[in-house]
Amino acid sequence: MRIFVGNLPFTVKDDELKTAFDAFGEVASAEVLLDKFTKRSRGFAFVDMPNDNEAKTAIEKLNNSDLGGRKIVVSEARPLKTDQDRPSRPRREE
């Protein structure tokens, strides 16, 4: 299961995030997303856990918990919207 983690302190690194989720089961990956220009944390991350039951327990236990001095938001990640998912809009006339 892919898990979204938001409201992260900008100092949190991948390994620290992985350690927080390891307490609830196997973690396949933990990635804090970085700004492509500044290489600074964007304040959110994604964690992949292969076992759905372990992932749900991690979400339940870690949501609104403290990590690095901030209350983090943890939820199941939603799929990206594709062009097919968006309603069509009329094209603007130039």
Q: For the chain, give every domain's residue range.
A: 2-76
In the chain, pLDDT over 90 holds for what percent of residues?
A: 81
Average pLDDT over residues 72-82: 87
Record: fold of 2-76: Alpha-Beta Plaits (3.30.70)
What is the DSSP secondary-structure string of the chain? Answer: -EEEEES--TT--HHHHHHHHHTTS--SEEEEEE-TTT--EEEEEEEE-S-HHHHHHHHHHHTT-EETTEE-EEEEPPPPPPTTTSPP-PPPP-
The CA-to-CA distance between both ends of the chain, in Å, stands at 45
The tokens for 45 are 């991350």
Per-residue pLDDT at 81 exceeds 90: no
Average pLDDT over residues 20-29: 97
pTM for the whole structure: 0.82
